[in-house]
A and B are shown apart, each in its own frame.
Chain A
């Protein structure tokens, strides 16, 4: 259980580290920005505005801007919905936290329930069987197919 939680945290942290902030590529940004008219990722879109956005991003990259600077400019133009994931602040944080809270809640419920169940399991009684039962059981086992 603890292992599971540790793993969750590790993966969650590892995920965003991959993208390069200082020197973004068009491909990276195309994967993080939506096409406003078609509601798909920019990389999927051939709409005119998508071509225009690609040209804009190329220009910004050439001007040496960072990824978040470019994204901020796109937000200023098209609103926060242009980013493919909700912001990790304000209302957007709720989108991220609820699933994690749900999972943690699930773990808590499981822990409580398991604790109670284990208490409910009676202490191991005498497990030896009398000869009669033993015979019956062996016969049933042999017949059981």
Chain B
């Protein structure tokens, strides 16, 4: 069996190598049939990788310990569901899963954009294949999951912290996110290489970017939930290098998703967007490097192996090649319009980009700085959570504020009049809430108070947008309220999906603020009958229980909970002892009080022979909003990603006749101006834009559209 797996991996490598060379040749010489064969090779590579992965999964299911990898990461006692997770519980298997996702995503992206790839962006296939080549080379040469040995009687078992439902979901989601970023990168580079820098690559890759971003974001939150429940210290995110590894590309992609709108609406920032795509991809590779190489001490790092150098070399290569490509094609990327005012939507996007990219790069700097201090002074300085928390405040709070203002500022040029009108309600809501919070005692933390106030501001702004839009539709079209709401969202899915995502970020901000700045904790060694008090809670230690289980024993301290003196159930916190793995893990008790929006988090730390136990109790206000944020985030992405028939029609009308690049630029100019006019008209109707501003903003747009229409008519005739 192992032979079949190894053969399939070799085949994948060969197919991808063919795809890269034949695809490049085809793109250079314009050979269609060669290009088709390269594409077929890419698709076949997915099939053979799937075969290799199936072999490995089958080995896990059959407890085939003659495979070193299976013996190291499974045992006969391991529950069924977790044997599946064996595929990604170690280095070699993770790389195989990585390759599987990469070839799968590449195949899907190429198939779904068949015509575009064949006619306009022939470089997509060789670029995707070349990246795949690297990821196939590593498991073939350095870390093979198919190494064999004389089968031992039982395996070593799986890392206990991975034996958790969230860990079933976290790695695949993370890989989908990391790997998905390959698609926009490949499209962008293919557009540069093919010299087709019109908007088609953007449109084709947009959903992939959004999807990878969503997966990455959800994966980070699932990882946080996992850390919250299994590591058991009362927190959920420790700014560990491996956690940061996923956050950096997520932030860069967030910046890209915003700046891309500026390119679509105003044809600005074309260079910047390509740079951001390349940055996001490089950061996702860098994240892989951090996770896989063990180069930085981390709780999560995998058993060290020598793949670090491979990844570093690949990152350097990708960075160098994309830089050269961008520099060579710089003339093609020249902007066609400019920023008109520093108080405008596009300017707000620029500020947002500045802060997001600065934050992503700060994290990168924080990860690298200990190495610098070690190299320069021979003494390692630590860059830990307090450092990142500082910059989260310094960059995150202005971002939160911008999130409230940005969507209310008009494109091109905002007037004080319109701005005041748009901001009045949200600002009032925020100030009132702020005052209430001060009265309620939230003034104990200034950053916390600011974060709460800004959050309310943003939520009010979003709600106001929905209300205003629905009201205008209801008034204009005579639709019922729910129908008006539905058509409002349906007609501009990306805008309103974006608002939902913003709401998710606000929930996240509230959850982080509440749990990190307004929590309380206490630690005490309790004899049976003794109590510990934190905030409104008192916990009385009743007894210790012991229960043997299938692959682990459970040791628990039982405590009766009282909130403000009233009984509020019992909790059981303690340890699990895993037999095969010979490992103790924390089994914390989390007692969620939905009414007061807080978690009571209980850790049974050390059990003493005299029957006493060290108990740590943490009260985490609002922490559950973080998990809720994950669901809302997902909803927002789905709304934004939902196929939009109108948009597809517009695009088809623009490109069906295979226009020349010059004509295509005119068509893009026309559509951009017409879409902007439509949107402006609607915003005017909702009352977001004042009359005078409406007239002032319409003028240039009407002129642009008319100019494009005239030129189009002239050249057509």
Contact = CB atoms under 8 A, between A and B. Distances in A.
Q: In the complex, are there CB atoms of A and B closer than 8 Å?
A: yes
Interface of A: 1, 4, 7-8, 11-12, 14-15, 17-18, 26-27, 31-32, 34, 38-41, 43-44, 46, 79-87, 91-92, 94-96, 98-100, 102-103, 106-107, 110, 113-114, 117-118, 120-121, 124-125, 127, 129, 133-134, 136-137, 140-141, 144-145
Contact of B702 (A1, A114, A127): A127
B394 A127 contact: no
Interface size, B (range) = 35 or more
7 contacts: A8-B395, A40-B299, A43-B233, A43-B234, A84-B386, A106-B354, A133-B706
Contact of B706 (A27, A32, A46, A136): A136
Given A32-B386, A44-B233, A91-B381, A117 B339 contact: yes
Interface in B314-366: 338-342, 347, 350-351, 354-355, 357-358, 361-362, 365-366
A44 B382 contact: no
Nearest to A83: B382
Nearest to B401: A7
B501 to A, nearest CB: 22
Contacts, number: 176
A127 B401 CA distance: 36
Contact of A81 (B338, B366, B379): B379
Given A84-B382, A127-B702, A141-B674, A4 B233 contact: no
Nearest to B444: A18
A84 B387 contact: yes
A4 B384 contact: no
A71 B432 CA distance: 41
Contact of A27 (B386, B521, B713): B521
Nearest to B674: A144
B235 A44 contact: yes
B240 interface: yes
A12 B390 contact: yes
Contacts of A94: 369, 372
Interface stretch (B54-62, B87-95, B141-149, B445-453): B445-453
A135 B8 CA distance: 64
Contacts of B713: 136
A39 to B, nearest CB: 4
Contacts of A85: 382-384, 386-387, 390
B373 interface: yes
Contacts of B376: 91
B446 A14 contact: yes
Interface centre among A31, A34, A43, A103 (most CB of B within 10 A): A103
Contacts of A103: 354-355, 358, 395
A31 B386 contact: yes
B324 to A, nearest CB: 22
Contacts of B225: none
A40 B233 CA distance: 12
A140 B365 contact: no
Contacts of A32: 386
Contacts of A8: 394-395, 398
A129 B398 contact: no
- What 6 A-B pairs have minimum CB-CB distances, sorted nearest first? A84-B384, A117-B338, A99-B362, A127-B699, A39-B297, A133-B706
Interface string B393-434: 111011001000000000000000000000000000000000
B700 A124 contact: yes
Contact of A44 (B231, B380, B521): B231
B646 interface: yes
B64 interface: no
B358 A106 contact: yes
A89 B671 CA distance: 55
Interface string B107-141: 00000000000000000000000000000000000
A6 B445 CA distance: 19
A137 B676 CA distance: 13
A96 B649 CA distance: 50
